[in-house]
Structure 1
């Protein structure tokens, strides 16, 4: 995907444009939010999300060549020079990318030339080595005498090897782009005799029939021409059958001369003849085909030598009635002069140039730019790697949830509409979850679904908000599958961070939606159509009263202000759903949070003494509670000067904090215990005693809260704190059990699940109605009631409040009247209250 700023020629200007546009988008979005009375808590995340989106859109491809170069450099260090980077930018990064691609291509060429040189050397040294070996073996076996003639033949072969090495070095310089020829008069017949004489001792059962014009004298580079003849004849020998014949003909043809080498092998099919001259070319599976069974370097070098002399080499059809391969070299008698250094063009052989000179090196294929890892990957390390590919279905579903929220939620009280949005968001997250069949994930998702019910069943906003937060926490913890409290915290932090972590994934998903330029861009078409409808619709509606009337009749509640507000809601809910869905699809490795293990204490007293001190302090408190229990109210009044109600109210908060600190002490001490059986026994006794004493503290706290509520009335905060203290006692009991079995990894999950269940239990008793009933019962017993507090309860309390006598009933009901809710605002608590209030008004 090309960056929108690809045509900007300076990286500084790009960053400037990026900053200006991002700030401008944020400013305009904030101004629209203020004008539409969007709450700050809603406007801020939406503004940040839009600014991030615009930044991501404009910054696409700006730094990707740098990351591609890093990946390509690593591949080049491993010997892979095919990597190329994106170089379509016009700025300094684009120039660097183009220079990098050029360097990579040159390195690939050098590497290829080195490999080809090794293969060429191996090929070219084989024939003279075989001849030298044959001569030396004959000398060693006594087949021929060790006289001056035969020793000179061996020395000649060795010298030829040395000359050949020099020639091959020249060949490497040719591949680099330059070469030179040393032309001199020579007899073709004599040169052919020398080449045949070198090939005869190799031990191959092939005979030669040479027919060369004795008067044929040409100007040529002797070493190069000998190289051409040797390669052509050696190729014919290798592909001739045993006791076959290789026929060599050399004759003048005007100002040129022809050389034909014919073998008696199977021949070469016309379709494969050109491939025989390519380096490392093959001719199919037939090992007997000319040029096959090897690398094809011999014929490639022969064509190169012919080209240096201004000639050509090609296969021709054998004479009628014969078989075998026929290679014809067409060379000038007097080659044109060449400079000492002649550039050799790099080109790909074409069928039209079948008889051109030397085969040019094959160009390095253009490699697909390596996929650059996103720039934000190092921010999250190996514990939250990016998920490959994209999921356009997840993005579309999250966008659908956002649109649903923008249509249903604004200007409506919590009820059926909010329940539908929450259910849709939760279902989309579960659907996208990677581990949606994990038992813990399923349990958390079920709890999250149950936490949505108070929104539609109860009118009390406080319990609805608490349940929604608990449901969101269940969903996040469930999809990340944490096992410890720090992991739960990290999972909660990962949700907003997914807006950054998921940007590369979002970009890939969006590209899958809008298409790659070839597929129908349906989403883009729809977006532009909607934008055109909105822009021109607003303009004409504001310019013409008739059009405005028509628009009001179709959309009676839609104004500019309400539309902006709905857009903010849609973007907020859609982004939140998308972030949670990405977290479910690609959860981070929360188990990497440090703190799982600790080093045991070197001495037992290091942890045992502090635990025993805490045991002693808690035991003193338990003894005091026993004295109060047996002494009664008079003992409290006599020793403290406080009434019993004042006494029980005095320390409830401190007892709750003490319970939490006790859990902290147990956690810290258990991490310092070693594996020695005596240490384990001491831990179980000391910490078990502490847990038992803490349970007494919990019972005391619950008893105090009960007495305080009886004395001063029941409230929402006191109910929640009461349940919270009871939950702490349950956690303390679970910790004690874990200490006995020495396996406590289940405790955090148990604590979380039971905490959510406890909150659902509060919602299940209809808390506002429960509080109203208990306050009314207290009024019946004591004659005391706080009608001002009862008036602040939600409509859930109305059925209970109607049982109060007048004038207390009127005071407790306040100014409540039946509400005119639409069906999307339906709520069971408000519905019951409206029915009861309507009956009361009807009855006078």
Structure 2
């Protein structure tokens, strides 16, 4: 019968053998830290097998087994250990190694810009990792496409704004040279034209500065309780002369009686830009309708509808982008001027107020609607340490 001292000796022997083998395995792992995953796993498996073999052999020696039996046992455990380690190496190299090689190849393909399809290269964890890589490759492809789109839009915008600035500059230069040479047929008319072109360029530069402020997030709204009718009236007064030249009338419906917390200067500018867009695309001798209503207790909807054809359906999501214009030739209609920044500025101002803007075709024409919060925004509480 196995006594307690003998059992304690067996446990102690097994613990010592396991500790020695584990220490050797850790040393090997550190020495081969840059090795493959398969080799690292094989070292761990080998340590487990060798610790069992060493413990068994040591315990058998302590039991004073005959030399013949000890030799047989050593051969049995030795052959079993070698076969087990060989099988472990082959298995790890086949399964883990193949999975790792697949993941490495997938990572390289992601770097080349490919979109991966989910695969099952081997073990469950590797399959999940490859699925995550495939999902990441899809998101990266989308992000790259968006960056390419924005970069193309940026290059196109700079080309357009350069054209829009160069055209009035060239005209001003020609007229100033004519004035300087004394060959201008109507000096006063030339001066008025130069002044108008200067005003146009000033407006374009102001738009660029406003847009940069909006996009950089440095715009600070000075909110106050304002009457929507006052803002609309101011904007209509500014655009009325241009509209009258083409017989376009601006009608206000349901605008009175609405109060909201907003920056009057910025919101008036946004309404003015919407009216400029409406007048630009409205047919001659037509009507532009400015209306307002509350969608719920917290939001106000301001709409500007003209009887023009609007933009193509596929362009509805692009018309608020910087530099976008409906016509590819980049010419403005009816003598109006601009750099394609008006609606982009409107969107920036509206979003700064916590609202949103959208465009839609309606039976009577084309409508741009702005949804704005009515109530005063909650003050932001600064967090200590930030």
Q: Scaled by the length of structure 1, what TM-score is found? A: 0.25
Q: Which of these two proteins has the greater Rg computed from alpha carbons?
A: 1
Give the number of the structure whose residues are more often strand, by fraction. Answer: 2
* Structure whose residues are more often helix by fraction: 1
